[in-house]
Amino acid sequence: MKSPLLIFLGISVATHTALLAWHGVATDLLSRGQQIQVSLLSGERQVTVNASRHGNDGNSGNKTAEKETANPAAVAQPNSNKHDSGSRDKDSASVASLPQRAVTPSSGEKISREIHRLLAARFTYPPLALRQGYQGLVLVTVSIEPNGKITGVTLARSSGYRILDLAAVESVLAIHRAPQLQQWLRGRSISINVPVNYRLIEA
């Protein structure tokens, strides 16, 4: 009874190989493992920064449809994503060197983008919340002194889970100071609300 099995195996391997030889668009419905993705959302403009080694295309691993525009002035992101199109690959230095225009983005926006840059690398999904499957949106208020020192972080709105609230607050506090903000603060203290959305994706 071995030969029918071998024939079936042969057909199976042949069909399998034929199907695999297709060059379809790889749909990212499968997990990238336990890598954490931090997305920067700027109104309608959404760019994903892949904090893992799995950086590939600029598309987010999330299932939500995300749009990207090529407005170089508005977006700042770390350079870890090699496949970004050139128009999006700007860091804060490039933003600073843009010519002055009649209506410039407000310093508030620049500060919020700088805070994004700082926070992007610092947020991790708390392992104990991941085990329980907790998700939620936390709103924290960050107070920054003119020299860039982060003097206070308070919880403005809870996600419904203390562990996520604490994780967001602790992540911001861990930054201590952001001297790069000085140039935008220009001697002011500022208070800014930062929404942090902890989301789980199905593997």
Partner 1 sequence: MQRFSILGLLALGSIIPSTSVAETPTTADEIVVTAARTAQTADETLASVSVITRKEIETTQAETVVDLLQHYAGIDAVRTGGPGQQTSIFMRGTNSDHTLVLIDGVPVSSINTGSYQWENLSLNEIERIEIVRGPRSALYGSEAIGGVIQIFTRKEKQVTTEAIAGSFDTYGANFSGGFGDKTKIRINASHKQAVGFSAKNSTASYDYDPDNDGYTHKSIGIGLASNISDSATFDMYAHRSELDNEYDIGTSNTKQDLVTARLNLTPSTKAAYRISAGSYQDVLSSYESSSSSKITTRRLTAGVQTDRQLGNNSMLVLGLDYRTDQGINYDLGGSSTVFDKKVDNTGSFINWQKKKSSGSLELAARVDSHSQFGTHATGQAAWGKNLANNRKLYLSLGTGFKAPDLNELYHPGYSGGSYAGNSALQPEESRSFEIGIKRSEAGLKRSIDLFYNQIDNLIAYEGTNNQAINVSKALTYGLELAQKQQRGKWTIDSQLTLQRAIDESKGTALLRRPNEKLSVRVIRHLNNNSSAMIETLLSGGAVDYGPVSLGSYGVVNAAYNRELNTKWRFSVRLNNLFDRKYEVADGYNTTPRSFLVNLSYRPG
2 touching partner 1, by CB under 8 A: yes
Q: Based on CB atoms, which residue is closest to partner 1, 19 or 65? A: 19
173 touching partner 1, by CB under 8 A: no
The answer to whether 54 and 33 have CB atoms below 8 angstroms apart is yes
**What 3-state class would DSSP assign to 162?**
helix
CB of residue 44 vs partner 1: minimum separation in angstroms?
A: 11
Q: Based on CB atoms, which residue is closest to partner 1, 52 or 94? A: 52
Structure letter (DSSP) for residue 146: T
170 touching partner 1, by CB under 8 A: yes
**What 3-state class would DSSP assign to 152?**
strand
CA torsion sign, 44 to 85 to 82 to 112? negative
- Binding range to partner 1, per CB under 8 A, among 51-59, 79-87, 88-96, 175-183: 51-59
CB of residue 104 vs partner 1: minimum separation in angstroms?
A: 6
- Binding range to partner 1, per CB under 8 A, among 15-23, 84-92, 175-183: 15-23
User: Can you tell me the distance from the alpha carbon of 77 to that of 47, in angstroms, rounded to the nearest whole number?
Assistant: 8
Q: Based on CB atoms, which residue is closest to partner 1, 43 or 86? A: 43
Q: Find residue 142's DSSP bridge partners.
A: 153, 192
Widest pairwise Cα distance in the chain:
85
115 touching partner 1, by CB under 8 A: yes
How far, in Å, are 72, 78, 88, 97, 134 from residue 91 at the CA level? 10, 7, 9, 10, 33
88 touching partner 1, by CB under 8 A: no
- Binding range to partner 1, per CB under 8 A, among 85-93, 107-115, 175-183: 107-115
* Cβ within 8 Å of residue 48, ≥6 positions away: 37, 38, 39, 40, 58, 59, 60, 61, 62, 66, 81
Site string for partner 1, 30-49 (x = CB under 8 A): xxxxxxxxxxxxxx------
Q: Based on CB atoms, which residue is closest to partner 1, 121 or 177? A: 121
Question: Of residues 16, 70, 94, 147, which one binds partner 1 by CB under 8 A?
Answer: 16
Interface with partner 1 in residues 124-153 (CB under 8 A): 124-134, 137, 141
